[in-house]
Amino acid sequence: MEIERGCNSSSFGNDFSLEIVKADSLHKALANFTAAEQLDGGERQYQYQQCKQKVRALKQLTVHKAPYVLTIHLKRFCSHDPGQKIKKKVDFGSTFDLKPFVSGSIEGDQKYSLYGVLVHNGWNTHYCHYSCFVRTSNGFWYYLNDNQVSSASEKRVLEQQAYMLFYVRDRRNLVPRKTPTDLSQKENLTANANGNRTSSAFNQGLKETVKNGPVENQLSGATTATAVTQKDASNVGPSMAPLMKEASV
């Protein structure tokens, strides 16, 4: 008998550490990172926690929610041999679309703009030097090397053997967060609209009473309608209150 089990786990963070041995671009590295992996033999099998047995499983990592700042680490060193650096060029662009790798609900575009590149200079992790390229808010790139700062072209930035990449999500693509104030204003507009409709019905009934009945009936009808209107208006607030909660983004 074969039993199929499912398990989901979540981890929170804005960093990706990507293997680049089998990738020549950032897109390919992230595609490899999120590809489904079959755990079906020997030590590669998944150990189910409840029964402590190893079972076949399908493992896949995806992005559930796109972060505002995206930090990407390109693995240029092996854990078993930190002295051997992978010096290959990994292509990356000034923009990046995370949408193909997001599994959760998508709110707005998932497009990012490059604003920082960290470069590792040296042969290993023991003897090395770091420098970086930074894009300012006005769109100009600068090269920072210790206490020396100089301007740089975007072409030069994209030619680097990057060690870390920093992307920021475009603000114009973010979905505005709905605050409790916004929801309260919306409810007030709804309540006012309901009140106006009740007043219109009352005025129409008043006109018909004046036309068809005596003044005593008119005043009696006005009092009754006013009481009903006030009662309905008092019920609008409490009945809508449970709907007032902050929407998460």
All structural domains of the chain with their residue ranges: 15-173, 180-243
> Given phi > 0 = left and psi -120 to 50 = alpha, else beta, which region is 63?
beta
Q: Residue 40: what pLDDT?
A: 74
Q: Residue 175: what pLDDT?
A: 56
CB 195 within 8 A of CB 233: yes
pLDDT in tens, 177-209: 555 555 555 555 555 545 555 455 545 553 443
CB 166 within 8 A of CB 153: no
Q: Residue 63 corresponds to which tokens in the numbers above?
A: 């992005």
Q: Residue 61: what pLDDT?
A: 79
Q: Residue 125: what pLDDT?
A: 78
> What residues of the chain score a pLDDT lower than 70?
1-14, 41-52, 82, 104-107, 172-249
What topology does CATH give the domain 15-173?
A: Cathepsin B; Chain A (3.90.70)
pTM of the model: 0.62
| CB contact set of 119 (below 8 Å; sequence gap of 6+) | 130, 131, 132, 133, 160, 161, 162, 163
| CB contact set of 88 (below 8 Å; sequence gap of 6+) | 20, 24, 161
Q: Residue 211: what pLDDT?
A: 46
- Which of 169, 21, 168, 23 is closest to 91 using CA atoms? 23
pLDDT in tens, 36-54: 887 776 666 666 666 667 7
